[in-house]
Structure 1
Amino acid sequence: MRTIRLILIISVAISVLFIGFAGYQMIKEEGFNWMPLGVLAISLVVVFATTLPFLKVLNQNEMKGGEPAAATVLKVWDTGTTINDDPLVGLLLEVRPLGMSPYQAEAKTIVSRLEIAMVRPGVTAQVKYDPKKPSKIAVVSIEARPEPTDASGRMEELEELRTKRLVSEEEYQKKREEILKAL
């Protein structure tokens, strides 16, 4: 993302310098016509205005100051947008932050064409959420495997979350008891 920002900044700087130099040269000439300079300036504004939404999509995964959380994919839909032949998909997620009750939020993320079939309801994801505005989330990664439905699979997943320190010891014990009671 930093490379894209650098390229954008350099492009803007070169464009401004070119317009300034070309404008200065044209003003010095006899019979100066402002039309080409105006068309060039308007073209640059249109180009940068149309690229800003794409930069926002590319930048959404760089949430600074976000808190990590586990999430489960509830719904997947195609947004109709592709970036470098990879689809941008919409996700309805159930986010489970530490110390808060689970909630639902929507996010968009780019998924590789090779992995798109594995992104379906039931898979888990790692997200970052804004503590001040919890509905604002960014998908960090998607673990393309369905959530286990049997007790042993759920216990293994719970142990994995505990090992990764994604759940507290209290949450681990509480969830473990829930799984065992369901037997």
Structure 2
Amino acid sequence: MKTIARSIALAFLVLAIGYYLWHGLTYVPSDVFDDSMLAWVGPQMALPIIAITVVPIVFAFTGDGILQAFTGHNSAEFRDGLLGIGTVKSFHQTGLTVNDQPQIRIEFGVEGVDGKIFDAQAKMIVPLTELALLQPGVVLPVRYRPDRPDKVEVDRSGDMSAAQQAMNESMLRKGFTTRAKLDIAERGSTAQAVVQTLSVPGEIRNGHSKIELGLVVTRPDGTTFATRVEKFLPPASVGQVQVGRIISVHYLPENEQEVVVALQVNA
């Protein structure tokens, strides 16, 4: 879509200027009183003026992240791209704003569907009210093309199940979870638990620390049971499991000792 729009705009510019030059060079005065300046000054100037005005507008509004901001969808180039997990490394404003909302260039570390890690960047319009939420370490689903991994777009499909699946596969590859635990998270009962104890054995895996939690889980009928859980967490998420915190968990009623902790990725 972006390429087509820009091609049409450039073609219009070339045709408009071409017509203007052709008119001026081939103009023949109708009589001796006809000013030769009319070859260049007149209605024929309208097309080049319009073209010179339109082309920058088209290029601006088809820039990276801008069209997506207006449509709410990924560009055609990335709409069917592979879904990866992007971790924000850094970001800065480009200087361009749309309706007073800044365009941001984001540097990502992306984990592809094959588990390979690569650096990429994306541009997007970020509302001022959400700008404070964009911090290094924030994890976002992104769309990418294997033939051009240096550029990505933040996924705008709204398909949360696909994003969760991509996150699950990433956690499996890193050894942070198992298929059995993912099954519990998918079909188990949802409950709340209070963190009674927290210990850190010292094991680190892919930048995540292993923690051991002592939990008291409240069943749907109000009764409780105690259990222990081991989990690998990034440093930014440890604050979510401090002693006394209430967290969400999943478990199977027939096996209450196998409890899966559910935490927000970007809390």
**TM class by shorter-chain length?**
0.5 to 0.7
1:56 aligns with one of 56, 63, 69: 63
Which secondary structure does the structure 2 equivalent of 1:82 belong to? strand
| Cα shift readout 1:134-174 (whole Å, capped 9, x = no counterpart) | 11211226xxxxxxxxxxxxxxxxxx999921146585164
Which ranges of structure 2 fall in alignment gaps of 5 or more residues? Answer: 17-29, 69-73, 178-204, 212-267
Instruction: Please tell me whether Structure 1 or Structure 2 has the larger radius of gyration of its CA atoms.
Output: 2
Question: TM-score if structure 1 supplies the norm length?
Answer: 0.63
1:161 touches 1:167 (CA, 8 Å); kept in 2? no
Matches of residues 140-155 of structure 1 in structure 2 within 5 Å?
140=155
Q: Which amino acid in the other structure matches residue 57 of structure 2? A: T
| Corresponding residue for residue 175 of structure 2 | 175
| Corresponding residue for residue 139 of structure 1 | 154
Greater relative contact order: 1 or 2 (C-alpha under 8 angstroms, separation 6 or more)?
Answer: 1
| Corresponding residue for residue 149 of structure 1 | none
- Higher-strand-fraction structure: 2
For residues 104 and 117 of structure 2, the distance between their equivalents in structure 1, rounded to whole angstroms, comes to 22
1:46 and 2:52 aligned: yes
Which ranges of structure 1 fall in alignment gaps of 5 or more residues? Answer: 17-29, 142-159
Aligned residues: 147
Deviates most, 39-48 or 52-61: 52-61
Residues 95 and 163 (structure 1 numbering): CA distance in 2 closer, same or farther, change over 3 Å? Answer: closer
For residues 91 and 68 of structure 1, the distance between their equivalents in structure 2, rounded to whole angstroms, comes to 17
1:83 and 2:98 aligned: yes
For residues 137 and 43 of structure 1, the distance between their equivalents in structure 2, rounded to whole angstroms, comes to 35
Residues 95 and 161 (structure 1 numbering): CA distance in 2 closer, same or farther, change over 3 Å? Answer: farther
Cα RMSD, aligned residues only: 3.7
- Higher-helix-fraction structure: 1
Residues 44 and 113 (structure 1 numbering): CA distance in 2 closer, same or farther, change over 3 Å? Answer: same
Residues 171 and 134 (structure 1 numbering): CA distance in 2 closer, same or farther, change over 3 Å? Answer: same
Q: CA offset at residue 182 of structure 1?
A: 4.4
For residues 117 and 171 of structure 1, the distance between their equivalents in structure 2, rounded to whole angstroms, comes to 27
1:97 and 2:119 aligned: no
